[in-house]
Chains A and B, each alone.
Chain A
Amino acid sequence: MILINYIVAICLIALGLYVMCAKRELIKIVIGMGIMDYGINMLIVSIGFHENGTAPIYTLSDIINGNLSFFVDPIPQALTLTSIVIGACVDAMALSLVIMLKRRYKTTDADEIRRLNG
């Protein structure tokens, strides 16, 4: 169950990287960035996942008994939330840059947007 999460996450990251390397359309490159982000988010959520875990509510007696492994780790979820927000911002920024590039270069083909070379 958890293994498949990891496999899917790695596949998503690889897919994202592949899209960034191989697709010439700028919007597709941005989509690749998004896919890679989702892969990593999935990985982080899976790290905190716990089979049959409960919400992270515990009492003092649990701490004293060292019985702390029955709940899902909340920190990775917090990390994921933050990371999703950041990812969304980055994608928005990238798309706005694509719009400006389309206006100035009249194209969204990465092969033609190469005035800075050499």
Chain B
Amino acid sequence: MSNFYVHFPVISVMGLFLAAFLVEIFGNKNKHVRYAISLIACLGAAAMTFYLIVPVFFRGEVISYWMGGWKPEGGYAFGIGYEIDGLGLFFGLLTALTFLMSVLFSRRYMERDGHLGHYYTLFLMLAGSVLGLVFTGDVFNLFIMIEIMTFASVALTAFRHGKHPEALEGAFKYLVLGSIGSSLFLLGVALLYLTTHTLNMAQIAALISSKGMQPTTLLAFGTMLAGLAVKSFVVPFHTPAADAYATAPASVSTLFSGMVNKAGIYGIIRLTYILFRTMDKESLMLLLSILGALTMFVGVTMALAQHDFKRLLAFHSISQIGYVLMAVGLGTNLGLYGGLFHAMNHTLFKGLLFLTAGAVYYATGTTNLDKLGGLAKRMPRTTACFLVGAFAISGIPPFNGFASKWIIYQAAYEKANLSGNFIYVIITVTALLVSVMTLASFIKVTGAVFFGQAPATLEKTKEVPFGMQLPMFIMSALCIACGLFYNQTIVYVVNPAVNAVTNPAKYVDTMMGEGYAFANGIGPQPTTFTSVSIWDPVFWLLLFVIVTCAVTLVAVSGARERGPVSLPEKTDSKHATFFGCEESLHSHVGGSDLFWGFKKDLKGYFKVMGNLHSGKTNDYALWVVIGVTLITLFTFVFLS
């Protein structure tokens, strides 16, 4: 029983699915039973996933598991195999962390809704499907998991249709556009099977490597890439994401941004780097980077125009996925490090932000930016967590968003320098600019929701219960820790994943037997992390603390000389807000009024974008069809 852990992946996935049905059978009446089942299933799956760190990350093993013991015979893999390499485990960890936090949050957050048995069933199915998606070693199994994921996501999006009929609309769009994506992926799988006669990813990788790219393979690649791009919501496929994230319950939005669109990114990395090994093609790098840059720009500019807290966060989610795709698409090692690190950070800070949005909704009953305000005094802990998340996503040092963005900028500019292509310079500038715009729109949220004056309806708002604060605290702590110790995080967490990506020989060998990869022309190429420049946030923070202490010391020692501090005791006119000599009234600068100058100058752009996001299912389907066609054609024309 020395390697009993090989059963862990399959147990964790199946355990989640089993629990989903157990909840439906036993938990529909009793809320304690259903929550206990869900929590135990999530905890168990997460614990097993985390345990795999030891063999996979520390010892560098690749775990393989054949369903029903159907091992490959005669060089052909017939059975369904599960295979966990560094990349799969990396995304598995993000998934496990996300659903664990979300299930902790759900207990109090969802307590006012009915039909919670269905909620936990779908929740567990979503968790299980994404975990299965990143652990599986079989392309068709991947497709099945994608379909279960879409199915559960759609149902969860529509979960609150009683209070918010828009949820139905979001769910329907998500379903229609998602089905185009999964159908395309299936088409790609079929075409791939036509040329390789196998569905096992390791074997496909080896066979494509030895046979070279044929037109059918290329078409398969194009359609699979397009299908996964739809699943990871890059522009122009981002519209269902914005609708679904905004209308789903916040705990579900956390799942969406933390694992569902990561699943798409995982698929793209697996596809381009390992399955087809096409990342040595300049044209594909250009395609992915431009898609990424477009995604982050469109996402962030649309976010600036939003009036709803969660819809704004949804567009930021899209924008940050653009960063990841751009970095991964650069095809350099530094880009991979930056991209994967940013994917991880995105899970942390965007999950945190969606949780705070959920807390605001729980406490006030709305997420409309124009109706909120002044919550900082009433919900101080939520505000603190939100600020951590906002600073992290805007890339303020020393939070984690800065560390990964910093690597991404270096990677992009280095790529520009190596390739001599001016497009990469534009991409770098875009990436840097998008970061400021992200800051701008979070300033808008901060000002509109947490600071300023509270409207009369929110006077009695109270802080959310501890059960909801706990996951927010954990996420905030992780955000700060990953930012301060980014070097250690990269070495221990990101590095194994990058090694797995750049070194697919081991992946193939574990599945198909020793020497199979080498026979098919896949050699080992291990990598190490080297950054272009150095920055030590711990040292900086240390100095920061020292100087702050010094300043505070001076301030305290000079307190007698300094003027007195006058705290407000009750509402008197001395401490009232200055209102141009008038009595102070409730006046709050709502979210829509901010950035007037900016929006006026870019009126044309915002008008066009507003019209394009028309909300009509047909228009969105047209976007998807055009985008998919372009991607497929591009790969077919430029990759051969």
Interface residues, chain A, CB within 8 Å of chain B? 13, 17, 20-24, 26, 29-30, 33, 36-37, 40, 43-44, 47, 63, 73, 75-76, 79, 82-83, 86, 89-90, 93-94, 97-98, 100-101, 104-105, 110-111, 113-118
Interface mask (B166-184 → A, CB under 8 Å = 1, otherwise 0): 1011111101100110010
B155 pairs with A24, CB closer than 8 A: no
Complex CA gap A86/B147 in Å reads 7
| Interface contact B187-A43, CB-CB below 8 Å | yes
Cα–Cα distance between A114 and B619 once the two chains are bound (Å): 11
**Who on chain B is nearest to A114 by CB?**
B615
The answer to whether A115 and B151 touch across the interface, beta carbons within 8 angstroms, is no
Across-interface contacts of B298 in A (CB, < 8 A) = none
CB distance from A6 to the nearest CB of B (A): 11
Residues of B within 8 A of A (CB): 74, 140, 144, 147, 150-151, 154-155, 158, 161, 165-166, 168-173, 175-176, 179-180, 183, 186-187, 189-191, 193-194, 197, 199, 242-243, 246-247, 305-306, 311, 610, 613-618, 621-622, 625
B617, closest chain A residue (CB)? A110
Give the A-B contact count at a CB cut-off of 8 A: 132
Which residue from chain B places its CB closest to the CB of A118 in the assembled complex?
B610
Q: Please judge, given known A-B contacts A90-B175, A100-B158, A116-B246, whether A21 and B625 are in contact too, CB under 8 Å.
A: yes
Q: For the complex, what is the distance from the CA of A83 to the CA of B189, rounded to whole Å? A: 12
Contacts of B144 in A (CB 8 A): 82, 86
Q: A76-B193, A79-B140, A101-B172 are in contact. Are A117 and B615 (CB under 8 A)?
A: yes
Nearest-CB residue, chain A, relative to B197? A73
Chain A contact residues, majority secondary structure: helix
With A37-B183, A97-B168, A116-B247 known as contacts, the answer to whether A63 contacts B74 (CB < 8 A) is yes
From DSSP, what is the main secondary structure of chain B's interface residues?
helix
A17 touches B180 (CB 8 A): yes
Q: Report yes or no: A43 in contact with B190, Cβ–Cβ below 8 A.
A: yes
A75 to B197, CA, bound (A): 9
Q: How far is the CA of A20 from the CA of B173 in the complex (A)?
A: 11
Q: Which of A90, A101, A113 contacts B147 (CB 8 A)?
A: A90
A17 to chain B, nearest CB (A): 5
Give the CA-CA distance A97 to B311 in the complex, in Å.
21
Question: Taking the nearest CB of chain B, how far is it from the CB of A78, in angstroms?
Answer: 9
* CB atoms of B618 and A23 under 8 A apart: yes
A101 to B151, Cβ gap below 8 A? no
Contact call B616/A110, Cβ cutoff below 8 A: yes
Task: Name A98's closest neighbour in chain B (CB-CB).
Answer: B172
In the complex, the answer to whether A36 meets B610 with C-beta atoms within 8 Å is: no
- Cβ–Cβ < 8 Å partners of A40 in chain B: 183, 186-187, 190
Q: Nearest chain A CB to B88's CB is how many angstroms away?
A: 22
Instruction: Give the chain B neighbours of A100 by CB distance below 8 A.
Output: 158, 161, 168
Residues of A within 8 A of B242 (CB): 116
* A residues near B168, Cβ cutoff 8 Å: 97, 100-101, 104-105
Q: Contact between A83 and B74 (Cβ–Cβ < 8 Å)?
A: no
Kindly provide the distance from the CB of A92 to the nearest chain B CB, expressed in whole angstroms: 10
- Residues of B within 8 Å of A117, CB to CB, are 610, 613-615
Q: List 15 A-B contacts (CB under 8 A).
A: A17-B625, A20-B180, A29-B618, A40-B190, A43-B190, A63-B74, A79-B190, A94-B175, A97-B172, A100-B161, A104-B168, A111-B616, A116-B166, A117-B610, A118-B305
**A24 with B618, Cβ < 8 A, contacts A90-B151, A93-B175, A100-B161 known:** yes
Known: A21-B622, A94-B172, A97-B175. A114 touches B616 (CB 8 A): yes
Q: Using Cβ atoms and an 8 Å threshold, which residues of chain B touch A93?
A: 151, 154-155, 175
Nearest CB in chain B to that of A86: its residue: B147
Chain B neighbourhood of A114, CB < 8 A: 169, 614-616
Output the nearest chain B residue to A24 by Cβ-Cβ distance. B618
Please indicate the chain A residues that have their CB under 8 angstroms from the CB of B186 in the complex: 40, 44, 83
Contact of B183 with A44 in the complex, beta carbons under 8 Å = no
Verify B176–A29 contact, CB threshold 8 A: yes
**Closest A residue, CB atoms, query B73:** A63
Residue numbers in A under 8 Å from B154 (CB-CB): 93, 97
Contacts of A36 in B (CB 8 A): 179-180, 183
Residues of chain B contacted by A24 (CB below 8 angstroms)? 616, 618
Nearest 10 CB-CB pairs, A to B? A117-B615, A114-B615, A104-B165, A20-B621, A44-B190, A110-B617, A21-B622, A116-B243, A97-B172, A21-B621
Q: Measured between alpha carbons, how far is A40 from B147 in the docked complex, in Å?
A: 15
- With a cutoff of 8 Å between Cβ atoms, the chain B residues found around residue A76 in the complex are 190, 193
CA distance A101 to B189 in the complex (A): 33
Other A-B pairs beyond A33-B176, A111-B616, 12, CB < 8 Å: A29-B621, A40-B186, A43-B190, A76-B193, A90-B151, A90-B179, A94-B176, A100-B161, A105-B165, A115-B169, A116-B246, A118-B610
A19 to chain B, nearest CB (A): 9
How far, in whole Å, are A94 and B244 apart by their CA atoms in the complex?
15
**Cα distance A89–B616 when bound, in Å?**
24
